[in-house]
Structure 1
């Protein structure tokens, strides 16, 4: 057999070619790489928790109010003593509506357009310059009243920064005042949940027993839809299709999701929040989860396309609503999105949160918050348990399908799954119409059917 060693100078090009070929086919056939956990640095810089909100100018001021205020304070404002006529025809201030007798020339802007300044409101503008549409109010620094300049624009917020070198914050702390303006209403954020009901479970000819067993195979045992289909055929001699089982699960999750908030959920005052990743149609999505530190039950879950501050704020808002103005300790990792969420909760939701952050998987004696690491480990163990159920799916085929599995697993984990730490019983109990505990999917389906009537 002919054999010959490859020359050394060819080894590196050959290895590079093999590596590039592997990476090409890995991406082509969707090899299961972990997502990139890197976050941009736009989350790392924002105001101190003690900084006030900016002065926001939503509407134009009225020059008559300015004159009346000055008259009240004994400081009458006289019209401009003009030596030369205005070179550009202008009738009034574009900000407060002051007549042109209160306007004076103020040089030219960088593009050569004549500028004017109003003596009353100090507004500067160039009348002949083409105007750009303004889609946000004017934000002013609360320390110096200087208009904030746009620093960065991100998908869910825009960062503004005070660039005034005479600002008292800059002079005293050598830090610029920053403000993050979100492009969504924080008070209207809601947890993700299925938004459709493909079939009416009450009119299925298979009956609640078959439906409950399908849910049991799919959620409780962690089988895939096709494995659940085969298990039903082998165990009970019925053969609904995988799509039918999927319709059952989505419809049940759709009906149960609004009632999760009504179920009994004892709270200990310690909440651990973290996120893990799952794949939907070949793309990574992030599952934010909040777990009670003492009871180990799931408080809330939110599925998001991005690992960003909006997802963190959404689940934190749900925790705040659950606690109903009671204080709690929030335990998270060092991801800056959680600090941004805590900051947003204080500013917009008027809630002060005791936030404890832990770095990495191992203890750090220099961190005073290390006593809270056991609570962080609880949520890591939950993700391990959930991934054991999720791994057979590899990738969900739709966003609603993923939400369905997450919603039903939360109910199963809290109210149906036997836990060794609770003497092989569920940590929480749902009571039926007659006060009896609900211990199976069949009883849960009957309960939801009766409560919907």
Structure 2
């Protein structure tokens, strides 16, 4: 018996020694508190929104006569009895679609390439000659805030255009290039699209502040009761909304308990009618919001298709100030949800507003858009699940409140199958 105990003790000592050696190996070779990625590396600059550019508005014809190409085309048709035909480009350098006449606004198909691709253009509508290289013929020019170089239009997206500073001597580019490690530099030379070293600005082509937030589609609901009374509608909402039953269970409950034979489709229509009726009161209620807001997006399914639901809530009073739903996680829906929330303020608090969100770049873009409209606020991005930085440590509670709202919403939403 003593020999067995002695053997087990010796075996335990060997195991403890091996565990100690493994811990030493891990401490030397594997960092225990490494972040998901090195946010300081230029390799991950794609997830960072650059500061706003210098915007110059050129009024080249401010004191001279302006023309409208549509009016000039109408006058040509009246005087000549025929339409002015667009230019048929046969050269190797067609005029790009983004070019318009700075004098009358005629599109590219009315512009001649006058010098075989050397930069001089002629408008067929108003006979105005201009150079395609000169920035002053553009109504708005975006200037790099680091080097003063004019940004070049690179890509056209659904809601915005991407402008890029291609100056190789730009201080922003040189700083990011210098920060690359030898391994990243080799990867950058092989495939430059994986890195974002140049300054980039997104010019939005859709005015999100002109979209109506309060409109309701016509003829989608009616309060004219033909087969049932308003009392039956109240019973439907009690079972369907308050108790969280499905439409079919609600239909069965009304038949078994109250003797009312009603289809589950009618139950759904009553719920939809109530939602459209209550919506204006909910959206226009005076919530008297505080200066601590939290925003987040979560996904759910509508008729089997994934959608994204955006919430903006008052973290102090726990009231939902803004909400939107979309097919994709695009900036348009994010801005509309934030507009709904900011509309609840009688006077916008400005920098006193603490707006907490995750690290999704859309919130940073939305902050730039609101700043252009004179609604600047303090955006706090709580990144990750652990408090690895002072910002996350201080404002984690704001993010947790909106996450709890998402869980509550998903739990109640799944019960009714949408």
Q: What TM-score comes out, normalization by structure 1 length? A: 0.57
Q: Does 1:355 align with 2:362?
A: no
Residues in 1 aligned to 2:201 and 2:250: alpha-carbon distance in whole angstroms: 51
Unaligned runs of 5+ in 2: 1-43, 66-100, 105-112, 123-127, 178-196
Residues in 2 aligned to 1:242 and 1:193: alpha-carbon distance in whole angstroms: 28
Task: Please give the per-residue CA displacement for 1:353-401, whole angstroms capped at 9, x wherever unaligned.
Answer: 111111233x31423242222222122222222222211344x4xxxxx
Equivalence for 2:387: 364
SS in 2 for 1:238: coil
**Deviation of 1:167 (Å):** 6.1
Q: How many residues of Structure 1 are paired with residues of Structure 2 in the alignment? A: 301
Residues in 1 aligned to 2:259 and 2:166: alpha-carbon distance in whole angstroms: 74
1:66-215, aligned counterparts within 5 Å?
A: 95=102, 112-116=116-120, 123-125=130-132, 139-141=141-143, 147-165=150-168, 176-191=198-213, 195-215=217-237
Q: Does 1:374 align with 2:381?
A: no
1:304-315, aligned counterparts within 5 Å?
A: 304-315=326-337
Residues in 2 aligned to 1:115 and 1:46: alpha-carbon distance in whole angstroms: 33
Structure 2 vs 1, CA of residues 295 and 211 (structure 1 numbering), >3 Å: closer, same or farther? same
Residues in 1 aligned to 2:306 and 2:64: alpha-carbon distance in whole angstroms: 57
Structure 2 vs 1, CA of residues 306 and 192 (structure 1 numbering), >3 Å: closer, same or farther? farther
Residues in 1 aligned to 2:262 and 2:215: alpha-carbon distance in whole angstroms: 25
Residues in 2 aligned to 1:390 and 1:360: alpha-carbon distance in whole angstroms: 26
**8 A contact 2:240–2:246 mirrored in 1:** yes
**Deviation of 1:221 (Å):** 2.1
SS in 1 for 2:357: strand
Task: Please give the per-residue CA displacement for 1:138-176, whole angstroms capped at 9, x wherever unaligned.
Answer: 533265775432233322211112324566876899875
Unaligned runs of 5+ in 1: 1-40, 66-93, 98-105, 127-135, 397-453
**Deviation of 1:234 (Å):** 2.0
**8 A contact 1:43–1:336 mirrored in 2:** no
Equivalence for 1:54: 55
**Deviation of 1:263 (Å):** 2.0
Equivalence for 2:342: 320
SS in 2 for 1:267: coil
Q: What TM-score comes out, normalization by structure 2 length? A: 0.62
After the TM superposition, which segments of 4 or more aligned residues of structure 1 sit over 4 Å from their partners? 62-65, 94-97, 142-147, 165-177, 190-194
Task: Please give the per-residue CA displacement for 1:162-218, whole angstroms capped at 9, x wherever unaligned.
Answer: 324566876899875433122311212344875244442243442222112212222
Residues in 2 aligned to 1:262 and 1:62: alpha-carbon distance in whole angstroms: 43
Equivalence for 1:238: 260
Residues in 2 aligned to 1:364 and 1:42: alpha-carbon distance in whole angstroms: 22
SS in 1 for 2:155: strand
Query: Greater shift after overlay, 198-207 or 242-251?
Result: 198-207
Residues in 1 aligned to 2:173 and 2:272: alpha-carbon distance in whole angstroms: 54
Root-mean-square deviation over aligned CA pairs: 3.7
SS in 2 for 1:152: strand
**Deviation of 1:47 (Å):** 3.0
**Deviation of 1:317 (Å):** 1.6
Residues in 2 aligned to 1:219 and 1:316: alpha-carbon distance in whole angstroms: 27
